[in-house]
Amino acid sequence: MKRQKNNLLTGNQILSKPIPKNITVKQLIDEYFQAYNSGRLREAAHLFTEKMLEPDVTIGLSLTGALTPAGIGGSCIVPLIKAGFIDWIVSTGANLYHDTHFSIGKTLHRGSPFLDDRQLRDEGIVRIYDILFEYDVLLSTDAFFKKILRLPEFQQEMGTAELHNRLGKYIAQREKVLGIQHSSILATAYRCGVPIYTSSPGDSSIGMNIAEAVLDGFKIKLDVLLDVNETAAIVLNTKRTGGKSGVFIVGGGSPKNFMLQTEPQIQEVLGIDEKGHDYFIQITDARPDTGGLSGATPSEAVTWGKIDPNMLPSTVVAYVDYTIALPLLTSYALGKVKPRHLKRLYDRREALLGKLFKEYIKAKQKNIKPKNK
């Protein structure tokens, strides 16, 4: 009994020492994030920097919520992409749309969540909780996308990774013309070869502008089923080449599930032998008991085949506002780990999809039962 008790008390002591002036983010997290969700955030920081950022780990990031209007795109996601810390992304279209405001010279402002929304409407001001901007920001961003989406190169069927890569090229050009130094997620992903997928492409202003272009006779068409297989191919290739797969989930919703379903797609649907993702970090304010997080906590995800059961200790869920967690984790990682070589998965999509198809055919032939004579 005494030996068991000693094993349970091997963690660092809880310290109650004063926080010094001008402390670094790394010191703050390592020494003063000791319990509750600060403890989980510390564990997430250690998992991210000590295991997930090894060269052989492929990291997928999912983004939900009104994240980019708060400036998180340019302040956190862009530096992580440039450092090679993010290899592929699943995002809501809304986050990509609102991030583009900054790239075309539009401004969003700090405000208050306690204003009269009727007055704001009368004065042409849009509110996202405590973020305020002119209604013209939406109209100008719509006009920007309308012009691009009517170009000849968009008049074909494509997956959302190709759509976003093509959009990123023009956003990057616009930033250059305007002299904007802090790139958007789409422009940075274009430059770094990071594929970005949107699981519900019609559920955003980008999708709405595509729908309007189709009404206007243009031929752009999105193949979301191609996205399902491309993302599965990324994960399978990682495993087959001796690497590990890590998922970094910000929020929840459709992007969360779309990223996690890659493993059930490989195992359950395609019949290919696999075990699940290896590393799992989630920043969320949802709860499993109300259905908001059901099926997506690491332990539940194991039962779906989403997470490798043997890797369950390498998972962390921190119940923290992502506008607090992401800046801290970004600063911590950039200060602790050297930039990684860019995997440029966008450039390898077709090759990876070909490998997935070959494994699928083999698994299919293996699983076909001979008919009784």
The 3-state secondary structure of 302-369, one letter per residue: HHHCCECHHHHHHEEEECCCHHHHHHHHHHHHHHHCCCCCCCCHHHHHHHHHHHHHHHHHHHHHHHCC
Q: Among 284, 264, 283, 282, which residue's Cα sits nearest to residue 274?
A: 264
For tokens 């969320």, the residue is: 284
d(CA 365, CA 351): 22
Structure tokens at 352: 């990876």
Question: In the beta sheet, which residues pair with residue 317?
Answer: 282
For tokens 């963690």, the residue is: 11
Structure tokens at 212: 């309007």
SS3 293: coil
Q: Which of 244, 256, 306, 343 is catalytic?
A: 306
Residue 256 known to be catalytic: no
Q: Decide: 313 and 280 in contact? Cβ < 8 Å.
A: no
Question: In the beta sheet, which residues pair with residue 250?
Answer: 63, 283
Structure tokens at 105: 């010279």
Q: Among 129, 134, 116, which residue's Cα sits nearest to residue 65?
A: 129
Q: Among 145, 159, 152, 150, which residue's Cα sits nearest to residue 96?
A: 145
Helices 185-192 and 160-178 pack at an angle, to 10 degrees, of: 110
Amino acid at 6: N
- Residues tagged active-site: 306
